[in-house]
Structure 1
């Protein structure tokens, strides 16, 4: 029951109306008997929104596109990972001090580890935005990583993590897909659209294909990869694992990820 002691958490971004995060986190609050609610906020003015978090005593946030990088300047403190990556997807309000974290990298790593070995593998990562940076930072400690991005400069900037950066072109796709053990789509291409960042003819049977897009659950890339015989990993696994880490940071509770996925799938069916 909502009362004067109920804590408020939320998601800020634009757009947010299709997010499954409220479904997942509200189910977790109920499961663990935590007096809290989670709402999604479609934000136009980020600075005002962050000031509102402090003014209203909102306990924590998830941050999504397009604010993962912009929010850094409005926070009081950053975790080591968030500072290195330059991107925040989780905020904890500790007695009025807003602390930024990034759980995208660990979310992607845990999603991958459910299905395949990562250490020592060759990883081709497409996209150098907020999520791509976090994944590159995290995986660079375990694997050999090449990052391709439409704007080559952004991919090259990630070489500070010990990865190799290059331009996302057909030539480079062909070159590095033949080299890679794992390919990760960290771009938004394929989100609610029937397009893929990789031509089907470049995919091969022994490749692991991970798409961080989770709407639709099976993107065009994953469908074509499955048809070729690749091992495929959908983006909902990353959403679940990064959300689990956010929940732990907010509450101190390590949640059941299998339960989270079941609730997310129920929410997806209700939204169709």
Structure 2
């Protein structure tokens, strides 16, 4: 029951109507018996400054940030965590007594997806497909996991060059064309292949980034951060070539659990969160069918 003492949480974005975070986060809040509520709030880019002031003034203890506000919100905050600053994006805000601090829990969520499958990258090379905002969180996560080197495969390396200029890099990172010989060499040596592009995401499920599966290392683990559909064409192709795989569900649950832990000082029930998320995804797929 929502009362006058309930702690307020939420997610801001534009548009926000299709967000699955409320179902996932409220399931964990209910499982823990906490007096809190998590809601989705549509905030246009023009209203972001006013919205942040309002959330601070009304005592929201925290909120998630999604497209298109992850970068734009940074100058509106009092402090930004080192990892969020490194990738230039905030997805979680914590209100500590009126002081707004930005974090990026997408990094934690991505790493959770690796840990769930027992994947260790210490001293091993990785390949990332795409160089957008999601790729930056993945890149930071790979460096934290101890990857020896990272190859970023894209359509146009010149357009993607800013990712290596903006981020403090702790390991060798190269940007190459998807169909280049350098890409084939990287795939042959890769311990991990990650898709961070939207290719294959519902409703355009036929999309797939170009990968020469014949040259990819047979032992490479394949990770797609897309979670709808649960199994993209990219992951189906990987499985058909004998690779172990992971989709984006653990990343979404992991980033949400990390945020909830920051806000409410609790250890969220990840099983409840995952069950609620998968039920919401199934319902969403049925409506799109």
Uncovered stretches (5+) of structure 2, i.e. residues with no partner: none
Q: Deviations over 1:121-179 (max 9, x none)?
A: 21111233333212212321411222334423123324634241314432144332122
Give the CA deviation at 1:68.
1.3
Residue 270 of structure 1 pairs with residue 283 of structure 2: yes
> How far, CA to CA, are the matches of 2:15 and 2:208 in structure 1?
22
Deviates further, 179-188 or 142-151: 142-151
> How far, CA to CA, are the matches of 2:82 and 2:236 in structure 1?
37
Report if the CA contact (8 A) 1:82-1:101 is conserved.
yes
* Secondary structure at the counterpart of residue 2 of structure 1: coil
Corresponding residue of 2:207: 195
Residue 181 of structure 1 pairs with residue 191 of structure 2: yes
Q: Deviations over 1:72-95 (max 9, x none)?
A: 111111112222222111101112
Q: Deviations over 1:46-72 (max 9, x none)?
A: 222212211222221111122211211
Q: How many pairs align?
A: 272
Give the structure, 1 or 2, with the largest relative contact order (CA under 8 Å, sep 6 or more): 2
Deviates further, 158-167 or 109-118: 158-167
Residue 169 of structure 1 pairs with residue 178 of structure 2: yes
Corresponding residue of 1:211: 224
TM-score normalised by length of structure 1: 0.92
Report if the CA contact (8 A) 1:155-1:166 is conserved.
no
Residue 228 of structure 1 pairs with residue 234 of structure 2: no
Corresponding residue of 1:53: 55
Corresponding residue of 2:147: 143
TM-score normalised by length of structure 2: 0.87
- Specify whether residues 223 and 128 from structure 1 end up closer, same or farther in structure 2 by C-alpha distance, changes over 3 A only: same
Report if the CA contact (8 A) 2:194-2:222 is conserved.
yes
* Secondary structure at the counterpart of residue 189 of structure 2: coil
Corresponding residue of 1:129: 132
> How far, CA to CA, are the matches of 1:196 and 1:104 in structure 2?
23
**Residue among 141, 160, 175 paired with 1:152:** 160
* Secondary structure at the counterpart of residue 111 of structure 1: helix
**Structure 1 residue ranges (4+ consecutive) displaced by more than 3 angstroms after TM superposition:** 199-205
Report if the CA contact (8 A) 2:261-2:268 is conserved.
yes
Q: Deviations over 1:223-262 (max 9, x none)?
A: 1111222111010111111111111111111213233212
- Specify whether residues 117 and 3 from structure 1 end up closer, same or farther in structure 2 by C-alpha distance, changes over 3 A only: same
Corresponding residue of 2:75: 73
**Residue among 241, 256, 263 paired with 2:269:** 256
